[in-house]
Chains A and B, each alone.
Chain A
């Protein structure tokens, strides 16, 4: 209750500040607007409820109806509701993940929003939102990936944050010698293994090759892929990863880090919240960038972007456009991402510098040579599925590598024809 009161108090203040701007164009929105959200986790849910209340306040004649759908269920339901019962605004993801809805004409072209100041402010994600030279949605947040590690264990073992692959492996050897595992991971739902592949490939072969590979333009049996896998194998052979990771989800892998059985977790920033909830403090948990592997390759990072779209069947596109514009403004992106614990896409928005993870991520992504979305957003769904299954198998049975890569190559030939 208290948080709701607080949120609405904040909402009142900011909406008062914004109201003048919104009414200035002399246009009143009316009718109904339906918003479908996949923000089913508590923090994102509260965030969206807050900004929708704010938007509602600015447009008293507009009736807003919000539907929040479980994040995983949403991924399959979106196909049904986009065709059968389209809302006016829907959340989704950038990159290749939106391709099927763009090619079938289910998303509205919103290039008209990507003009003037807004285009400049959102420039960092423009390529991720562009298909066929048009933009199909507006980003509201992104977050960094990297190593979340146990600073106290590093101190205990006298380790320093590694900056290159040799140091990473040397650190890991010491950790293994101390009876711990270097990395926790839960691969039951596969995608966590793809995080490792992405970073190893980005660091071994660089962003261009990684993008060409996920776009189906390079072969999976290429020697460069084998080099990436060989680097991965070094860690696997060292016993760097926790045992039995195929039995755990990403959340179930957290206790290993909290108990100190493992010292680091390659994850997205959304993991910080549950890790802290499980009992680690800011003094124990810290963050470092995935280290350099091949000398001379610029450091590209993973930064999955979450976005808002207008279905082409929407009834109230005028209101939807106004909402997308509203969400893209610096103020809203600042307040939204402060409560999400993530990074605003708008470069005029400010970052919550009290949060050291957000701060570290912001600096890292600002200096990144390029941003990848994530394996299952850069590669088409089918390729992603077969690929991630292959990575999981590789982590358990590294000897099957040739077989796995051939399978991926066969899938590539079929998927991208």
Chain B
């Protein structure tokens, strides 16, 4: 009898469903499937489609015409493209100012006084309001007739400067507006980071006579490395996809001097006078390659950190 039972149970085991047998390895994939599906449909496949469309001349309505790399050739001597690329670089560099600015505000706010929570939330406020609102507020701030900015520089005998209408200042003016919320974002990252700073190490450093800048640079900042990394990532990405502020504040003007690549792509492909899908896609591809450089770097450093543990 007993042998028979054994045989039966063995038999059953072999006949367990395919899913039951592979449960451990399959389940994670099942959970990830929806995410993978949507990531494919909305991110990965469109990337390849952009590559494809950039080889065509297409107005989005009629027939597509294959023109090879003509769009890229045209991009190569398009002055507007270089203006956008230069502005993108200025954005990338100046936007990074948000990181030290955020750090110093965080250090400043990292103390226990009455009402500190209120001050913290007030400093965080610009990040909560919409970029469109930030853009509008700064547009009025810079307004050459009634703007506060010109009133203030008028007190010291300067101006008036038409910040958003002058090709030399316009990009800097918009970046200043963008830095306001971005600084708040970096600040909040550092505030949480500061909570995790080890008080014992501070104590030890203090015993060894470290203070001021040295304390900050050699003791505090290294411990904030994870926060710095995240701040760096979000700031770089924020700089590269700057679009809403430009759209609201200047619409790319005056005469296209404040455009960045993402705005130029929108203008060429999707705006009122645009609809050159192929050319827009070519700009998108260039922007993607620039981003890819940073993304690869971020992924690599994350991978290195994971392995280091």
Binding site for B on A (CB under 8 A): 72, 75-76, 79, 82-83, 100-101, 103-104, 106, 187-190, 243-247, 376, 381-382, 384-385, 389-390, 392-393, 396, 407, 414
The 6 closest A-B pairs by CB, nearest first: A246-B165, A385-B273, A247-B165, A244-B162, A393-B255, A246-B254
- Asked if residues B254 and A384 are in contact (CB atoms below 8 Å), the reply is no
Residues of B within 8 A of A392 (CB): 253-255
- Per the bound structure, the CA–CA distance linking A104 and B256 in Å amounts to 30
What's the least CB distance linking A259 to chain B, in Å? 10
- Per the bound structure, the CA–CA distance linking A182 and B271 in Å amounts to 33
Binds A, one of B19-27, B35-43, B55-63, B175-183: B55-63
**In chain B, residues 72-125, which have Cβ atoms closer than 8 Å to a Cβ of chain A?**
74, 79
- Asked if residues B254 and A72 are in contact (CB atoms below 8 Å), the reply is no
Q: Does B54 contact A (CB under 8 A)?
A: no
Residues of A within 8 A of B271 (CB): 76
Chain B CB count within 10 A is highest, among A82, A244, A414, for A244
- Asked if residues A376 and B165 are in contact (CB atoms below 8 Å), the reply is no
Instruction: Name 13 A/B residue pairs within 8 A (Cβ), A-sorted.
Output: A79-B60, A79-B275, A100-B59, A100-B62, A101-B61, A188-B165, A244-B144, A244-B165, A384-B273, A389-B255, A389-B256, A392-B255, A396-B167
Q: Does B250 contact A (CB under 8 A)?
A: yes
What's the least CB distance linking A250 to chain B, in Å? 13
- Per the bound structure, the CA–CA distance linking A407 and B255 in Å amounts to 13
- Asked if residues B275 and A245 are in contact (CB atoms below 8 Å), the reply is no
Q: Does B238 contact A (CB under 8 A)?
A: no
With A79-B60, A247-B143 given, name 14 new contacts (CB 8 A): A76-B270, A83-B61, A100-B275, A101-B61, A104-B61, A188-B250, A246-B165, A247-B164, A381-B274, A385-B273, A389-B253, A392-B255, A396-B165, A396-B255
- Per the bound structure, the CA–CA distance linking A389 and B273 in Å amounts to 12
Beta-carbon nearest neighbor of A383 in chain B: B273
Beta-carbon nearest neighbor of B150 in chain A: A244
Beta-carbon nearest neighbor of A189 in chain B: B251
- Per the bound structure, the CA–CA distance linking A126 and B256 in Å amounts to 36
What's the least CB distance linking A285 to chain B, in Å? 21
- Per the bound structure, the CA–CA distance linking A414 and B67 in Å amounts to 14
- Per the bound structure, the CA–CA distance linking A187 and B275 in Å amounts to 23
- Asked if residues A396 and B254 are in contact (CB atoms below 8 Å), the reply is yes
Q: Does B272 contact A (CB under 8 A)?
A: yes
- Asked if residues A76 and B256 are in contact (CB atoms below 8 Å), the reply is no
What's the least CB distance linking B148 to chain A, in Å? 15
Interface size class of B (residues with CB under 8 A): 20 to 34
Beta-carbon nearest neighbor of B77 in chain A: A410
Taking A100-B61, A106-B61, A245-B165 as contacts, is the C-beta distance between A393 and B254 under 8 angstroms? yes
Residues of A within 8 A of B256 (CB): 389
- Asked if residues A382 and B276 are in contact (CB atoms below 8 Å), the reply is yes
Interface majority SS on A: helix, strand, loop or mixed?
Answer: helix
Residues of B within 8 A of A100 (CB): 59, 61-62, 275
Number of A-B contacts (CB under 8 A): 76
Chain A CB count within 10 A is highest, among B61, B160, B270, for B61
- Per the bound structure, the CA–CA distance linking A188 and B271 in Å amounts to 15
Interface majority SS on B: helix, strand, loop or mixed?
Answer: loop
| A103 in complex: contacting residue of B62, B142, B273, CB < 8 Å | B62
- Per the bound structure, the CA–CA distance linking A245 and B60 in Å amounts to 34
Residues of A within 8 A of B145 (CB): 244
Beta-carbon nearest neighbor of A248 in chain B: B165
Residues of A within 8 A of B59 (CB): 100, 104
Residues of B within 8 A of A106 (CB): 61
- Per the bound structure, the CA–CA distance linking A75 and B275 in Å amounts to 11
Beta-carbon nearest neighbor of B163 in chain A: A247
Taking A79-B275, A188-B250, A376-B273 as contacts, is the C-beta distance between A247 and B61 under 8 angstroms? no
Residues of A within 8 A of B250 (CB): 188
| A247 in complex: contacting residue of B144, B267, B273, B276, CB < 8 Å | B144
Residues of A within 8 A of B267 (CB): 385
Residues of A within 8 A of B160 (CB): 244
- Asked if residues B165 and A72 are in contact (CB atoms below 8 Å), the reply is no
What's the least CB distance linking A386 to chain B, in Å? 9
- Asked if residues A246 and B162 are in contact (CB atoms below 8 Å), the reply is yes
- Per the bound structure, the CA–CA distance linking A76 and B273 in Å amounts to 9
What's the least CB distance linking B162 to chain A, in Å? 4
Beta-carbon nearest neighbor of B147 in chain A: A247
- Asked if residues B253 and A246 are in contact (CB atoms below 8 Å), the reply is yes
**In chain B, residues 225-282, which have Cβ atoms closer than 8 Å to a Cβ of chain A?**
250-251, 253-256, 267, 270-276
- Asked if residues B273 and A243 are in contact (CB atoms below 8 Å), the reply is no
What's the least CB distance linking A129 to chain B, in Å? 20
- Asked if residues B272 and A72 are in contact (CB atoms below 8 Å), the reply is yes
- Per the bound structure, the CA–CA distance linking A337 and B84 in Å amounts to 44
- Asked if residues B251 and A188 are in contact (CB atoms below 8 Å), the reply is yes
Beta-carbon nearest neighbor of A387 in chain B: B273
- Asked if residues A190 and B253 are in contact (CB atoms below 8 Å), the reply is yes
Residues of A within 8 A of B143 (CB): 247
What's the least CB distance linking A81 to chain B, in Å? 12
What's the least CB distance linking B64 to chain A, in Å? 12
Residues of A within 8 A of B274 (CB): 381-382, 385
Beta-carbon nearest neighbor of B60 in chain A: A79
Beta-carbon nearest neighbor of A390 in chain B: B255
Beta-carbon nearest neighbor of B256 in chain A: A389
Taking A243-B162, A390-B255 as contacts, is the C-beta distance between A79 and B61 under 8 angstroms? yes
- Per the bound structure, the CA–CA distance linking A407 and B166 in Å amounts to 21
Residues of B within 8 A of A103 (CB): 62
| B273 in complex: contacting residue of A83, A188, A244, A382, CB < 8 Å | A382
Beta-carbon nearest neighbor of B279 in chain A: A382
- Per the bound structure, the CA–CA distance linking A245 and B275 in Å amounts to 28
Chain B CB count within 10 A is highest, among A101, A382, A407, for A382
| A-contact 0/1 string along B145-180, CB 8 Å cutoff | 100000000000000101011110000000000000
Taking A100-B61, A106-B61, A245-B165 as contacts, is the C-beta distance between A381 and B255 under 8 angstroms? no
**In chain B, residues 178-192, which have Cβ atoms closer than 8 Å to a Cβ of chain A?**
none
- Per the bound structure, the CA–CA distance linking A2 and B142 in Å amounts to 42
- Per the bound structure, the CA–CA distance linking A371 and B164 in Å amounts to 36
- Per the bound structure, the CA–CA distance linking A100 and B274 in Å amounts to 12
- Per the bound structure, the CA–CA distance linking A76 and B165 in Å amounts to 26
Residues of B within 8 A of A247 (CB): 142-144, 162, 164-165
- Asked if residues A381 and B62 are in contact (CB atoms below 8 Å), the reply is no
What's the least CB distance linking B182 to chain A, in Å? 24
What's the least CB distance linking A412 to chain B, in Å? 15
